[in-house]
Amino acid sequence: MTRNFPDPARAHGAWVYLVVSILAGALSVAGQGFLPALLAGIGYAGIFLLASSAALWRRPTWLRRFAGGLLLAAGAPVLALALDADPNFFAYALVAMFPAAVAVWFSVRRGFQSPIALCFAVTALVVAAPSAACAGGGTAREGWLLGLLLTPFFVWRTWRVRRALATHTGWTRTDLRRQGLLEAGYAVAWTALAVVTIHLWPK
């Protein structure tokens, strides 16, 4: 009997944190570096789709998810390089492998929805921010500062929400939708503050 694993790509919170991280990296460089940074970030979205396709193994939609992820993961970085992106942005993918691997380990041990697994998964997604910034011409210091500004806040919100869902009963779909929109608003507001901080930070 096959075991069906939860689909990470169906977690709306994961997409929120990934998208705002990509935009944070692109907006932190702006100017001519915006498009290469955005494309590098889209490559991360492709990697996320590739990784999530494992949850669809032997399902009809597996190949479509895998092919779409592969197209983004390979094509977007190539276009970024064609637009003179800094190739060092690839190094951040290696950095993201550590929290991603830890997230998988905790998922197997404690379950996909365990707070610790989700927090490490979010940490891996946020690495898209410094990677995109690097591709757009941002310095390593700016990239790591951006990561340090975003990661603790996103991890804290993830932990807090997951604990609330686990310890309180009676959540309705309306409650979940309202909480999701609230968390998305928090993520956007904090990301905007982080980007402004990067632009105001002494060069």
Give the HSE-up count for residue 31: Cα atoms under 13 Å, Cβ half-sphere: 10
For range 156-182, the mean pLDDT: 85
Q: Which of 39-43, 107-111, 165-169, 171-175 has the lowest mean pLDDT?
A: 165-169
pLDDT at 181 over 70: yes
d(CA 26, CA 85): 12
pLDDT band at 4 (very low <50, low <70, confident <90, very high): low
List Cβ neighbours of 141 (8 Å cut-off, separation of 6 or more): none
pLDDT digits (tens, 9 = 90+) for 23-77: 999 999 977 799 999 999 999 999 988 888 877 777 778 888 889 989 999 999 9
Both tokens of 118, joined, read 């989700």
- Which run of H or of E encompasses 13? helix 12-29
- Terminal-residue alpha carbon distance, the chain: 58
Give Cα 27 distance to the centre of its chain.
16
125 near 12, Cβ under 8 Å? no
Token code pair at residue 189: 């507001």
What is the pLDDT of the chain when averaged over all its residues? Answer: 88
Q: Which two tokens stand for residue 110?
A: 């404690």
> What is the structure's pLDDT at 1?
38
Window from 41-55, 112-126, 163-177 with minimum mean pLDDT: 163-177
Residue 154 clears pLDDT 60, i.e. is over it: yes
Domain locations in the chain?
Answer: 8-200
- Residue 73 has phi, psi (to 5 degrees) of -65, -35
Q: pLDDT band for 169, please (50, 70, 90 cuts).
A: confident
pLDDT at 5: 61
Q: What's residue 12's pLDDT? A: 78
Q: What value does the mean pLDDT take over residues 155-174?
A: 84
Average pLDDT of the segment spanning 113-139: 92
